[in-house]
Structure 1
Amino acid sequence: MNAVPAELLTENTRRDWLSPLELGVLAAIWGASFMFQRIAAPEFGAMPLAEIRLALGAVILLPFLFSQRALFPRSIWPKLAVIGVINSAVPFALFAWAAQRAPAGIGAICNSMAVLFTALFAVLMFGERIGWKRGLALFAGFVGVVVLASAKTAGASIGWAVAAGTGAAVLYGIGANLVRLYLVGMPPIAVAAVTLSFASLSLLPFAWYLWPTQSISVSAWGSAVALGVLCTGIAYALYYRLIARIGASRAVTVTYLVPLFAVAWAWLLLGEPLTVPMAIAATLILGSVAFSQRSKR
């Protein structure tokens, strides 16, 4: 029996504890993004906040693009621009808009639907067989959205916020399949830098026109900067690092943890409660996402 090299054993041991730790850190960061939007969106508005987030995230990731720019042929740039709008610009604006009207946990729960919509559009775009198990998972997820949309928080309806968050998840599903269709083999962090840059440019005129005229508080500015630097730029780099180490199917499990952290951050720091409809919807949606991933494997 051949002995396992000590270097390989050490590396495997490091991965055993490092990957779950990084998944937890990433989930905590992305969960905090909904809290930061909840703080900053009422003062900045949806478009300006999304623009700050995109621009700062792009700046963090641009060094990765610079080192790999030779891998991007001219013909791919228009596709990258379209994907940037679909996968970043509009979803970020929709989530910021939703954050003005609903608790942070609502957006995070809707965001988890992206996994289901990715599977649905894979059927439509690539002809993949969905199977009855994944079809049931999709149905359960949609029921969860209906439960969430029909709920009220502090006496106010949150239906439009749920619609915005779900619309963002739909666009994430389309964007993921467009990446699969056109960008397979491209360096993922560099692709993220390009798409965020194009998304930022596409929103810039709207953000400029809608820029708030009143003074912005320190807490709103701090939340906006954290949203762009930490929750977008650094988080994207961490996510793609995880994909490279443990694979996409394992890295996507972070989706299950993000709503939990989002609700926890909002409860601890903003005093937002977890309502019964939110708990039911989260159970249906996250359960359907987990079941869908299990059926896929």
Structure 2
Amino acid sequence: MFLICAAWGGNFLMSALALQELPALLFTALRLASVGLLLLPWLRWPKGLPVWRLVAVCLCNGALHFGLSFWALRLAGNLSSPAIVMQTYVPLTVLLSILMLGERVGWRTSLGMLVSFAGVLVLGFDPLVLQAPASLILMLVSAFFLALGTVLMRGLTGLHPLGLQAFSAWIGLPFLLLAGLLIEGDWRAPLETASWKAWAGVLYSTLAASVLGHSLFFWLVQRHPVSQITPYLLLAPLVAVALGVMFWGDVLGPRLLVGGGMVLGGVLAIGLRAAKRGRRLESPGSGGS
């Protein structure tokens, strides 16, 4: 888990370096294209898989989530606030599960959701965030699409996790190419002038964040309940915040600390409650109810 969180937390720093030279949608397209080529052997279509659901999941978890999050990171000018706001995908996933799947949650989980969303409001008034409010909005929308893709993914069966990443890359690329043409224009100039730092960011994002981080995460998910893993994922934004302070010049003001603490605290409460509920359901005599 520490290796996963180190890879994902470091991705904020390495991506931010690349985004100084590359437009956000171009950077996202380069990442997805690299991942798609590396994972091409896993690109196999399972029988009976609904086309609409696979396309929706791949667009939400791939092009929309990554494109908007890198766009937010490029506008933010810091690493701390985007890394923290991204964690709202956890309460958003719970909320969408209630609305779309009819799941029921207790008051503790509901309180964790409220605390997390309130923390975003507090964080939004931090001077560091107020310099680029569009970044906060874009990251929230990115977290929403990740949550939506996570909920829709529950209906996918018989698909290898690495195959899902490959499909996400190839399905998302045409969308990114069209959006990049309309929003960012001609990509030839930034590609020609990109330095080794930009390409190092693309390489790190592809190999460390996607291939290594997600592969290890899927390996753990296959062996442990997701509810037991979720709380440890909060190490990733903490790594990003630490790197932001050490290497990016982030200044942690009181609103950022309080709001960030509320967001992460609410997410932790949701994760711990889910883990406790999972252990209770698995315990002898629980009857699976």
Q: TM-score range by the shorter chain?
A: 0.7 to 0.9
Q: Structure 2 vs 1, CA of residues 55 and 250 (structure 1 numbering), >3 Å: closer, same or farther?
A: farther
1:241 has 2:216 as partner: no
**Superposition deviation, residue 247 in structure 1:** 2.7
- The match for 1:164 is 138
TM-score, with structure 1 as normaliser:
0.84
Which shows bigger deviation, 281-290 or 271-280? 271-280
1:189 has 2:162 as partner: yes
Check the 8 A contact 2:58/2:168 in 1, yes or no. yes
Q: Distance in 2 between matches of 1:163 and 1:179?
A: 24
Q: Distance in 1 between matches of 2:156 and 2:149?
A: 11
Deviations 1:86-133 (A, max 9, x none): 121111111111112221121110111111111110000111112222
Q: Distance in 1 between matches of 2:140 and 2:213?
A: 22
Q: Distance in 2 between matches of 1:272 and 1:150?
A: 16
Task: Return the letter of the residue paired with 2:220.
Answer: L
Q: Distance in 2 between matches of 1:258 and 1:285?
A: 14
Q: Distance in 2 between matches of 1:259 and 1:89?
A: 21
Task: Return the letter of the residue paired with 1:137.
Answer: G
Q: Distance in 1 between matches of 2:171 and 2:200?
A: 24
- The match for 1:136 is 111
- The match for 2:205 is 227
Q: Distance in 2 between matches of 1:124 and 1:200?
A: 30
Q: Which blocks of at least 5 consecutive residues in structure 1 are unaligned?
A: 1-22
Out of 91, 114, 119, the residue aligned to residue 116 of structure 1 is 91
Q: Distance in 2 between matches of 1:226 and 1:75?
A: 32
Check the 8 A contact 1:143/1:284 in 2, yes or no. yes
Which shows bigger deviation, 122-131 or 198-207? 198-207
TM-score, with structure 2 as normaliser:
0.86
Check the 8 A contact 1:108/1:262 in 2, yes or no. yes
SS at match of 2:21: helix
**Superposition deviation, residue 261 in structure 1:** 0.4
Which shows bigger deviation, 259-268 or 249-258? 249-258
SS at match of 1:100: helix
1:281 has 2:259 as partner: yes
Q: Structure 2 vs 1, CA of residues 212 and 139 (structure 1 numbering), >3 Å: closer, same or farther?
A: farther
- The match for 1:213 is 189
Check the 8 A contact 2:231/2:272 in 1, yes or no. no
- The match for 1:82 is 56
Out of 58, 82, 101, the residue aligned to residue 126 of structure 1 is 101
Check the 8 A contact 1:39/1:223 in 2, yes or no. yes
Q: Distance in 2 between matches of 1:26 and 1:186?
A: 22
- The match for 2:21 is 43
Number of equivalences: 269
Deviations 1:6-54 (A, max 9, x none): xxxxxxxxxxxxxxxxx00100110111112211123211110111121
1:31 has 2:9 as partner: yes
Task: Return the letter of the residue paired with 2:107.
Answer: W
Task: Return the letter of the residue paired with 1:186.
Answer: L
- The match for 1:198 is 171
1:294 has 2:268 as partner: no
Out of 133, 136, 147, the residue aligned to residue 173 of structure 1 is 147
